[in-house]
Structure 1
Amino acid sequence: MSSSTPFKMRLVHLDLKGAPPKVSYLSEVFPLFHALGANGLLIEYEDMFPYEGHLRLLRAKHAYSPSEVTEILRLARLSELEVVPLVQTFGHMEFVLKHAAFAHLREVALFPNTLNPHEAESLALVQAMIDQILELHRDVRWLHIGCDEVYYLGEGETSKQWLQQEQNSHSKLCLSHMQAVASHVLTQHPGVTPLVWDDMLRDIPPEQLKASGVPQLVEPVLWDYGADLDVHGKIFLIGKYQECGFQRLWAASAFKGATGASQALPPVEHHIRNHELWLQVAGSGPVDALQGIILTGWQRYDHFSVLCELLPVGIPSLAACLQSLVHGGFAEDVRLRVERFLGVSSLEITDTVSSVDTLLERNRYVTGWFSPYHRRRKLVHPVMIQHIQPEALSLLSRWNQLVQQLEAALQLAFYPDAIEEWMEENVLPSTQRLQALLQDLGEAAAQQPPPTSPGWDTGQNP
């Protein structure tokens, strides 16, 4: 594949902390990733990694087995995708710190977000996680150790006492933990370089960054998922990091999962614009400053949030973004090429109002003669039953068919718990509203007086 992109490495992010794909599905999409221009994967295992020993309780119900991880790596090699595993080691530690066995290692006792960096057991914990992951990823060149969004750092009781000492600061606390984790990777796993998200580094003064030794240990990943990315600001930040001694830098964009915690469909044009701006950064900044870009595809905002766009519906956006990187932009010929490749007429999927919403909120018979007021009191004009009930029954039948089709499609890619969650969040509310309407309508109809007909005794004398 000819390439005019300044990004030599193009990694697709697989966020497995929500709706993790079956291995059989990955076997189908890895060749697609490669064909679209990817040459690597950032795999964020979280609770899908088959931890052993005292870490075994971290496993999700459908966690991959060691043999499945080995198969994922084999499939990646077949599609010429270099794998970079990611394990959180500081912030976003909910999948670990939610467990009672590790709750004492929280920075703030009430919140499972952040690890307490003062505890020796905290460092031992993340070291054990790293060692187990690298045991199954023996030939990797990079390990991403997270370290983004370390919320509440410095707010724990031990940290508050530590920060009272004059020479100590939040920045020093953050850098010292990064330094300890990265040093473990480099000393125990020679040849593996740690990557870190850069948000906790951005505002640290250059002199403090230099003095920490961290620039000699890690490669920062500058992330920005906005369609309004500040190109000049990013170029300035690259210069700052280089001045501090960071030898290699990475960028991170997004093809899904970055525009709303409950977003169902990715806004493709937003993500294309994000990549076009990153191309401007790479083209205007120091030559070869960014050795690669990670196309993030978040599946949850954090361990406890709802699912956002599923991977299958993110494929058109991913295709557009990868091809933008490969061809140096998203001109009309690139758009047409992507649409032909995917076999679609348009990359942007319209998020239309559901048919149930239309019936309940726009149908004049429902809104005018069977409002919530009428439904609570089981009041309905008899003729309105004939206007509302047939349409509602027909709609419920179509929804039931759709539910069966959706479940069958989802079963090809996902495990039962992910399907249950997605259906309960996105489909069941509509069917339940429709069923409730029909139930209320039936109860209201049952309270209608029986009709009279000729020949019945009406109480009048013959």
Structure 2
Amino acid sequence: MSGSSPFGMRVVHLDLKGAPPKVSYLSEIFPLFHALGANALLIEYEDMFPYEGHLKLLRAKHAYSPSEIREILHLARQNELEVIPLVQTFGHMEFVLKHDAFAHLREVAIFPNTLNPHEAESLALVGAMVDQIMELHRGVRWLHIGCDEVYYLGEGESSRQWLQQEHNSKARLCLSHVRAVASHVLARHPTTTPLLWDDMLRDMPEDLLEESGVPQLVEPVLWDYGADLDVHGKVLLMEKFRKCGFPRQWAASAFKGATGAHQALTPIEHHLRNHLQWLRVAWAGPAGALQGIVLTGWQRYDHFAVLCELLPVGIPSLAICLQSLLQGGFSDEVKDRVESCLGVASLDITDFTREGAGSFPGGDILALVMQVSLYLRSSVGALLDGNRYVAGWFGPYHRRRKVIHPVMVQHIQPGVLSLLARWGTLVQELEAALKRVFFPDAVEEWLEENVHPSLQRLQGLAQDLSEAAAPFSPAGQRPDQAGPLRTHGDPTTRQGPENTWGPPTLMP
């Protein structure tokens, strides 16, 4: 079945620096990964790894324990998924360099992104991280050492002084650190090959890459997540790397987390097109030039960014992309296979929001997230900003002063309370579903970013309305009016096409 795929290794990336799943969920999802055609995992632990000793402060609150790491590896073996651990060793070191104990190792003092490559302590730090990860991953064939987006490199004081010397350059500085890290990996773990992202190497001169010795130490992972990926340009880059001496190369696509830092729903068509372009690259390049492809699934753009699509939300995209890679393209057979694996009645890659929940692990989360993402903000906005009763009789001026015509309470309040009850029930269901898969801090973060702002607007309106209506007791009391309230008689008697009174339509 996989004979039509040019990628021998199909690697699913688990980005654990945001919303890391509980091991119980991984036990449910790994069999699906295998069934869809994956045969490896790239696990980017970041602060979820159980570092020990002086590195213990790197652990997140809910970091996996050593026994949980062993359980993850056992589950991967059970499902024929080879594990490739990833540890950042140069750029994207925020989870390390944000701590006061390591802040002095920043390339630029105010930015925790990049490690200072001139400090001996920097290499010692990276070496300790690598060794602790390898201790729990003995025998792995590859270790990914990151090295992408090394922002501010060369801008620190030590680097500026170093760059003033003849023949020195930022490219040489980068290669020197990569060579040191890769050499450490190979010296301590000679059967493990380092991988690294290719972006810092792309524009380097061929002769500099060749003379650095780096091509003999690492295998580059060429990443591009665009739907309009330049096939010819990628083939030329592969040829450049081959000429420089890199014996093997990898590709990296994206199945989620690459179309917006605050993206909540995954645009499947974009990611499918990205994978179809990578297939074209593999066929256009030298036969067997690409060892495999990493299907990245970013959970944050960096350590300090907000969450993008949750893993369960991206599963339909992953399924389509994996099956398309396996079959050598997208077809009715791919569509049917994905529908069967996910328990989805009918799949539409341009508008998957019509498909329903699906029976795959986390399918309930996808269905509930779709409701929130597509309708919560719009329904609350329609009520607060588009409803004629609210806009005409209970706008900001009147809300601050808790002033309202008593007839308007009857028109506004039932709809507000109904909408609040409906969303309250759905959000409770979503929170329970999220807690089955994720740790409490991730659930809290996602709800605060995606749910609470709209619910708080709605709750604020309900509270203001309740306080404004309170003075209308059976005794007929009236509120103190802080401003004019001209209703021209009973507004419910005013008829006409633009003034037809009736219950508002709040939500589809």
TM-score, normalising length: structure 2: 0.87
- Whether the aligned pair in 2 keeps the contact of 1:44 and 1:85 (CA below 8 Å) is yes
- Shift, 1:138, TM fit: 0.4
- Whether the aligned pair in 1 keeps the contact of 2:12 and 2:296 (CA below 8 Å) is yes
**In structure 2, C-alpha distance between the alignment counterparts of 1:316 and 1:368, rounded to whole Å:** 44
1:169 equivalent in structure 2: 169
2:259 equivalent in structure 1: 259
Residue from 466, 470, 475 that aligns with 1:446: 470
- Whether the aligned pair in 1 keeps the contact of 2:103 and 2:112 (CA below 8 Å) is yes
Is 1:80 the counterpart of 2:104? The answer is no
- Shift, 1:370, TM fit: 2.1
Runs of 5+ consecutive residues of structure 2 not aligned to the other structure: 354-369, 478-508
1:357 equivalent in structure 2: 381
**In structure 2, C-alpha distance between the alignment counterparts of 1:186 and 1:21, rounded to whole Å:** 31
Q: Which moved more, 1:394-403 or 1:157-166?
A: 394-403
CA displacement, residues 327-386 of structure 1 (integer Å, 9 cap, x when unaligned) = 111123322331232122335236523222232233222233222233233332222211
Q: Give matches, 1:17-416, under 5 Å.
A: 17-344=17-344, 345-347=346-348, 348-349=352-353, 351-354=373-376, 355-416=379-440
- Shift, 1:449, TM fit: 8.8
- Whether the aligned pair in 2 keeps the contact of 1:365 and 1:384 (CA below 8 Å) is yes
- Whether the aligned pair in 1 keeps the contact of 2:36 and 2:341 (CA below 8 Å) is no
Aligned pair count reads: 453
Task: Name the amino acid aligned to 2:248.
Answer: R
Residue from 409, 415, 427 that aligns with 2:451: 427
CA displacement, residues 404-434 of structure 1 (integer Å, 9 cap, x when unaligned) = 2111111111111111111111111122111
CA displacement, residues 247-301 of structure 1 (integer Å, 9 cap, x when unaligned) = 0000000000000111001100000000000000001111111110000000001
**In structure 2, C-alpha distance between the alignment counterparts of 1:322 and 1:279, rounded to whole Å:** 12
Runs of 5+ consecutive residues of structure 1 not aligned to the other structure: 454-462
- Shift, 1:178, TM fit: 0.2
Task: Name the amino acid aligned to 1:367.
Answer: A
**In structure 1, C-alpha distance between the alignment counterparts of 2:474 and 2:172, rounded to whole Å:** 81
1:15 equivalent in structure 2: 15
SS at match of 2:50: coil
2:496 equivalent in structure 1: none
2:460 equivalent in structure 1: 436
Gap change, CA 1:74 and 1:449, over 3 Å in 2: closer
SS at match of 1:60: coil
CA displacement, residues 199-254 of structure 1 (integer Å, 9 cap, x when unaligned) = 00001010110011101100000000011111111011001100111000000000
- Whether the aligned pair in 2 keeps the contact of 1:36 and 1:322 (CA below 8 Å) is yes
Is 1:418 the counterpart of 2:442? The answer is yes
**In structure 1, C-alpha distance between the alignment counterparts of 2:162 and 2:131, rounded to whole Å:** 29
SS at match of 1:353: helix
SS at match of 1:366: helix
**In structure 2, C-alpha distance between the alignment counterparts of 1:392 and 1:264, rounded to whole Å:** 26
- Shift, 1:450, TM fit: 7.3
Task: Name the amino acid aligned to 1:362.
Answer: G
SS at match of 1:292: strand
- Shift, 1:130, TM fit: 0.3
- Whether the aligned pair in 2 keeps the contact of 1:378 and 1:447 (CA below 8 Å) is no
SS at match of 1:107: strand
Task: Name the amino acid aligned to 1:316.
Answer: P
Q: Give the CA RMSD over aligned residues.
A: 1.5
- Shift, 1:128, TM fit: 0.4
Task: Name the amino acid aligned to 1:430.
Answer: S
**In structure 2, C-alpha distance between the alignment counterparts of 1:90 and 1:286, rounded to whole Å:** 31
Task: Name the amino acid aligned to 1:392.
Answer: V
- Shift, 1:448, TM fit: 5.7
The list of structure 1 runs, each at least 4 consecutive aligned residues, that deviate by more than 6 angstroms after superposition, is none
- Whether the aligned pair in 2 keeps the contact of 1:94 and 1:113 (CA below 8 Å) is yes
CA displacement, residues 313-332 of structure 1 (integer Å, 9 cap, x when unaligned) = 11001001101101111123
- Shift, 1:452, TM fit: 5.6
**In structure 2, C-alpha distance between the alignment counterparts of 1:374 and 1:293, rounded to whole Å:** 59
**In structure 2, C-alpha distance between the alignment counterparts of 1:452 and 1:314, rounded to whole Å:** 56
**In structure 1, C-alpha distance between the alignment counterparts of 2:17 and 2:193, rounded to whole Å:** 24
- Shift, 1:445, TM fit: 2.2
**In structure 1, C-alpha distance between the alignment counterparts of 2:476 and 2:34, rounded to whole Å:** 73
**In structure 2, C-alpha distance between the alignment counterparts of 1:3 and 1:379, rounded to whole Å:** 72
- Shift, 1:451, TM fit: 7.3
**In structure 2, C-alpha distance between the alignment counterparts of 1:196 and 1:29, rounded to whole Å:** 26
SS at match of 1:238: helix
1:456 equivalent in structure 2: none
- Shift, 1:389, TM fit: 0.5
- Whether the aligned pair in 1 keeps the contact of 2:178 and 2:214 (CA below 8 Å) is yes
Task: Name the amino acid aligned to 2:4.
Answer: S
**In structure 2, C-alpha distance between the alignment counterparts of 1:72 and 1:449, rounded to whole Å:** 62
